[in-house]
Amino acid sequence: MSIAGDQDGRSDTVAQFYEQGDAYRQDRWHFPKVDKATMTTLANLVSLDISVEAVEDQITTALAAQENAIDLSSAPELLRSAQFINEQATQLKKIQLRNNQLPIV
């Protein structure tokens, strides 16, 4: 989700990433064509001048109003936990396996 900012620049970056990675020359996975007309920001959709911080505050407030627990202070502890480290290692192996299957250009 893009909250605000240079959407044309973001579109160009995504399009270049796909093109340089030969995303459209392979047939194993499907990558969507980047269409600038379909990519917008939340700020444009609601016609407001908003910031990432404001959206974070609104999401946090909405979750709290629904009595969902929000703990933003324990992130460093979570990142050091055995469960997180094991999951990170598992996901890294999956990424490496996928990358090994990509054609070398």
Q: What is the pLDDT of residue 101?
A: 82
Q: CB-based contacts of 40: which residues, under 8 Å, 6+ apart? A: 2, 7
Residues 39-48 pLDDT 10s: 889 888 989 8
Q: What is the pLDDT of residue 27?
A: 80
Which pLDDT band holds residue 91 (cuts at 50, 70, 90)? Answer: very high
R_g over Cα of the chain: 19
Answer whether 4's CB lies under 8 Å from 47's CB.
no
The neighbour count for residue 81, using CB atoms within 10 Å, is 11
Residues 10-68 pLDDT 10s: 999 999 988 888 888 888 788 888 888 888 898 889 898 988 899 989 988 998 898 88
Does 70 score more than 80 pLDDT?
no
Map tokens 């990142």 to a residue: 79
